[in-house]
């Protein structure tokens, strides 16, 4: 029997990815920790995931990623301009190196799952609400 994942579960997973991460520097305010974690989570869901996709899935993922970036250009701009982007990339590079040795089937599943998440972020009310929250947080001072 094939397991299905509801939109709410996907949104919850995305929120967990974006709002939580590993070790947190104690000198950051709660608001700055949230920003850093959101930058990391969105990077892992977008450009970081593209780097992890097997070649057979990369073109389709890139097409979805392009549509996502067009749908949420301000969020993407804020992430690209964020001082936390380097942190997001370096922490994801560690994950990438650890996952490089995995077989392609788990990577394919991961790539397809993240592609589905991106699509849902663009079309569902929960996804749009999550992205509005991300935008609000990243714009806050």
Distance CA 115, CA 128 (A): 16
What is the tens place of the pLDDT at every residue in 78-136?
999 999 999 898 877 665 555 555 556 787 888 899 999 999 999 999 999 999 999 99
91 secondary structure, DSSP code: H
**Helix ranges (DSSP H) in the chain:** 7-19, 30-45, 47-52, 55-71, 73-81, 85-99, 104-123, 125-139
Q: Residue 30 above 70 pLDDT?
A: yes
Q: What angle do CA 72, 18, 56 make, to 5 degrees?
A: 70
Whether the Cβ atoms of residue 44 and residue 88 lie closer than 8 Å to each other:
yes
pLDDT, averaged across the chain: 81
| 2-6, 57-61, 115-119: range with lowest mean pLDDT | 2-6
> What pTM was computed for the model?
0.76
Residue 83 DSSP code: T
Residue 21 in this model has a pLDDT that exceeds 70: no
């Amino acid at each position: 029997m094939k397991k299905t994942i509801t939109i709410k579960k996907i949104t919850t997973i995305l929120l967990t990815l974006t709002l939580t991460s590993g070790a947190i520097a104690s000198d950051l305010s709660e608001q700055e920790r949230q920003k850093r974690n959101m930058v990391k989570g969105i990077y892992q869901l977008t450009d970081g995931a593209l780097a992890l996709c097997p070649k057979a899935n990369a073109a389709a993922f890139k097409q979805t990623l392009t549509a996502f970036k067009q749908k949420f250009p301000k969020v993407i701009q804020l992430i690209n301009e964020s001082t936390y982007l380097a942190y997001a990339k370096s922490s994801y590079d560690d994950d990438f190196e650890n996952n490089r040795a995995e077989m392609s089937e788990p990577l394919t599943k991961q790539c397809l799952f993240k592609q589905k998440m991106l699509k849902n972020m663009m079309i569902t009310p929960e996804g749009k609400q999550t992205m509005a929250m991300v935008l609000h947080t990243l714009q806050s001072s």
